[in-house]
Structure 1
Amino acid sequence: MISRGIQNIKVNGTFYPTSFILVGIPGLEGAYNWVGAVVCSCYVLALLGNMMLLTVISASSGLQKPMFIFLSILASNDALLSTSIAPQMLSVFWFQKRHISFESCLLQMFFLHSFTSLESGLLLGMSFDRYIAICKPLRYGSIMTNTIIIKLVILLLLRAVTLFSPCIILIQRFPAFRTNIVPHSYCEHMAIVKLAAADIRINSALGLAVAFAVLGVDLLFILVSYCAIFHAVFSLSSKDARLKTFNTCIPHMCVFLSFHGLAFFTFLSHRYGGKRIPPYVHIILADTYLLVPPMLNPIIYGVKTKLIREQVWKALHKCQSPHVK
């Protein structure tokens, strides 16, 4: 049984919980072993896929190009994003270790939202890379340089820290919390904010504004990029060239539409879903948008890329050749 008492610590005349208790997925307690198995599978596949992608790209001189640099940064971010939540979720589902300290909870919240913001920004950068490659191929080398990519990544990191730090600071300023029972499987921003014994309208509005400033703006520019790409594709005279471009772009579109779509559903349902959306549906989808893209990205962006496939086959052949007599 989960204790419902709040452990408090007095700081500057106010009381805070020393820890939170993560419930997991309310309503699915009897299936936690199976849920944990799914989470573990997603986590292991995400780590293996992204580590493979990083290894292949770093080991091949032929893959030191802007698109593959974006892919390597995305793979690193996906591995970190999965690691920021999956171990904690497994401790809840498999080992019933549900306590997480107040500071660790805020740290997890900051990192997972920062990695999510960086993920969205990298998807935008990759769509811009494809736009330049397809629509302005003669200027590609002068526009997409390593310096530009480094500056973009630094800017995305600064954006994440600048926008999400106030959310963390405002949570620390709550005078008290009504309970330390978190009906979620990780420390999600609004799941913690709703526990406060205070007016949460500023926190809710700020969280929503940050979500739209990051995911909304990124999604808008991604869609503009792909609209320009498809406009250029339709003007191609070669049917084979059109099919090749569509074959490349459609999986990428599925990735960012699913990622951004589930992200917006999570943010909005926390605020306006009320009792119309069962808690387990909301939490499963929230877990999905953080666990599944890091698992699928190496497949969609890596395996479907011809140059990466060739390098993977070469690496496998080298591993097998010493045993061949």
Structure 2
Amino acid sequence: MEQKNGSSFMGFILLGFSDRPQLELVLFVVLLIFYLFTLLGNATIIALAQLDPHLQTPMYFFLSNLSFLDLCYTTSTVPQLLVHLRTADKSISYGGCVVQLFVALGLGCTECLLLGVMAFDRYAAICKPLQYTVIMHPRLCALMASASWFIGFGNSSLQTVLLFLLSLCGRNKIDHFFCEVPALLKLACVDTTVYESEVFFVGVVILLIPVALIIFSYGQIVRAVLRIKSSAGQRKAFGTCGSHITVVSLFYGTAIYAYLQPSNNYSQDQVKFVSLFYTIVTPTVSPVIYTLRNKDVTGAMKKVLCRGQDSR
């Protein structure tokens, strides 16, 4: 980046919700509660998946991956937002902005891919039950999870480098609460058409290909479940998949809204509140959705708690 770009020395100002000072205290309290529940819920799932042998299956391997990812994703943006909501200083260093964009974008892309992999796991479990342990071999599970992380952060590396090669002409006020691609693009004083087209293309690949895999997987799952004569079996199968579909709808719906429509179709205030969904709301409710009707997880939790009481 050229030296005339003053933001390379001064850093950036994250405007966040500073135009709504009456809302900042309310947001601080609500987001703090959500963040604490995110830490507790996702850490609980990771711990249970490690402690209970019954949960050491492909499904819970991917779920614990997702929980770890959600912990990191939320922590990459929310603590800083909480500080900015209670102080007058809204600044972030140039290097801090680069790192935040790289980490948040990488984790977001990884989650898109991981949710697609989890749909394939459910397809294999319900449509190919006799071959499930052969199909979802531990090596294949590790390979698919590793590929999701590698592709997610590979894409993030490319996007971050290309974005910060653009000249920002000394502009340093970002109308967002964290460093995100659409908000940073508005600081550029050069034609960003080519970059925006590249972002859109990559967004289609990262978002819509997993969505297509999810739709195909659940189409096959619905057909298989409808063949089950037992109503109890149908309820169990739909219950297992319902939590994943709910999380997918929350995450993909808001991410597609933010990244795959023309920027002149919505206001920046809408972008900020939509971003709150996939940065804090979805990671908070995800553990609740996955555990609320999941007898395996609730049973593991009871065993761990009983074991803790017996040890006293």
TM-score, L = length of structure 2: 0.94
1:15 aligned to 2:12? no
Matches of 1:97 and 1:91 in 2, distance apart? 9
The residue number in structure 1 matching 2:117 is 125
1:227 aligns with 2:227: no
For 2:161, the equivalent position in structure 1 comes to 169
Q: Which residue of 2 aligns with 1:295?
A: 284
**2:182 — aligned with what?**
190
In the other structure, the counterpart of 1:207 is 199
Superposed displacement of residue 172, structure 1: 2.1
Deviation at 1:166, TM superposition (A): 2.2
Range with greater deviation from structure 2 (178-187 or 76-85) = 178-187
Specify every segment of 5 or more residues in structure 1 that has no aligned partner in the other structure, as ranges: 1-10
Structure-2 change in CA distance of 1:93 and 1:269 (3 Å) = farther
Aligned to 2:22: 30
Q: Counterpart of 1:250 in structure 2: which amino acid?
A: G
Does structure 1 retain, via aligned residues, the 8 Å contact 2:116–2:211? yes
Tell me whether 1:304 sits opposite 2:293 in the alignment: yes
Q: Which residue of 2 aligns with 1:6?
A: none
8 Å contact 1:167–1:203 — kept in the other structure?
A: no
**How many angstroms does 1:209 deviate by?**
1.5
Q: Which residue of 2 aligns with 1:62?
A: 54
Which SS does the other structure have where 1:15 is aligned? coil
Question: 2:173 and 2:25 mapped to 1: Cα distance?
Answer: 21
Report the Cα distance in structure 1 between the residues aligned to 2:58 and 2:121, rounded to whole angstroms.
8
Q: Which of 79, 94, 101 is the matching residue for 1:102?
A: 94
Match for residue 241 of structure 2? 249
Cα RMSD of the aligned pairs, angstroms, is: 1.8
2:133 is the counterpart of 1:141? yes
For 2:300, give the aligned amino acid: Q
In the aligned structure 2, how far is the partner of 1:255 from the partner of 1:75? 12
1:79-126 Cα distance to aligned partner (Å, 9 max, x none)? 001101111111111223311111211111111111111111111111
**Offset of residue 29 of structure 1:** 2.4
Out of 306-315 and 11-20, give the one that drifted further: 11-20
CA separation of 1:279/1:55 partners in 2, compared to 1, >3 Å: closer, same or farther?
same
8 Å CA contact 2:69–2:111 kept in 1: the answer is yes
* CA gap 1:154/1:247 in 2 versus in 1, 3 angstroms: closer
Q: Percent identity?
A: 28
Distance 1:135 1:289 in 2: 30
Unmatched 5+ stretches in structure 2: none
Match of 1:317 in 2: 306
For 1:282 and 1:269, the matched residues in 2 are separated by: 11
- Residue 284 in 1 paired to residue 273 in 2? yes
Deviation at 1:288, TM superposition (A): 1.2
Where do 4+ consecutive residues of structure 1 move more than 6 Å? none
* 1:269 to partner: Cα distance: 5.0
Q: What's the TM-score, normalizing by structure 1?
A: 0.90
Relative to structure 1, is the Cα distance of residues 243 and 23 closer, same or farther in structure 2, using a 3 angstrom cutoff? same
Contact kept in structure 1, 2:62 and 2:145, CA below 8 Å? no
Checking the alignment, whether the CA contact within 8 Å between 1:16 and 1:175 is kept in structure 2 is no
Post-superposition CA distance 1:102-153 (Å, at most 9, x none): 1211111111111111111111111111101110011101110110111112
Instruction: Report which stretch shifted further, 150-159 or 126-135.
Output: 150-159
One-letter code aligned to 2:278: Y
CA displacement 1:32-64 (0-9 Å, x = unmatched): 011111211111111111111111111112221
Shift of the 12–280 alpha-carbon distance from structure 1 to 2, 3 Å rule, reads closer
Secondary structure class of the residue paired with 2:44: helix
CA contact under 8 A between 1:131 and 1:229: conserved in structure 2? Answer: yes
What residue identity is the alignment partner of 2:182?
A: M
Cα distance change of structure 1 residues 154 and 205 upon mapping to structure 2, 3 Å threshold: same
Residues 167-219 of structure 1: per-residue CA shift (max 9 Å, x gap): 21122222333521111111111101110111111221122112111111111
Please give the residue correspondences for 1:83-102 in structure 2 after superposition, counting only pairs within 5 Å.
Answer: 83-102=75-94
- 1:265 corresponds to 2:254: no
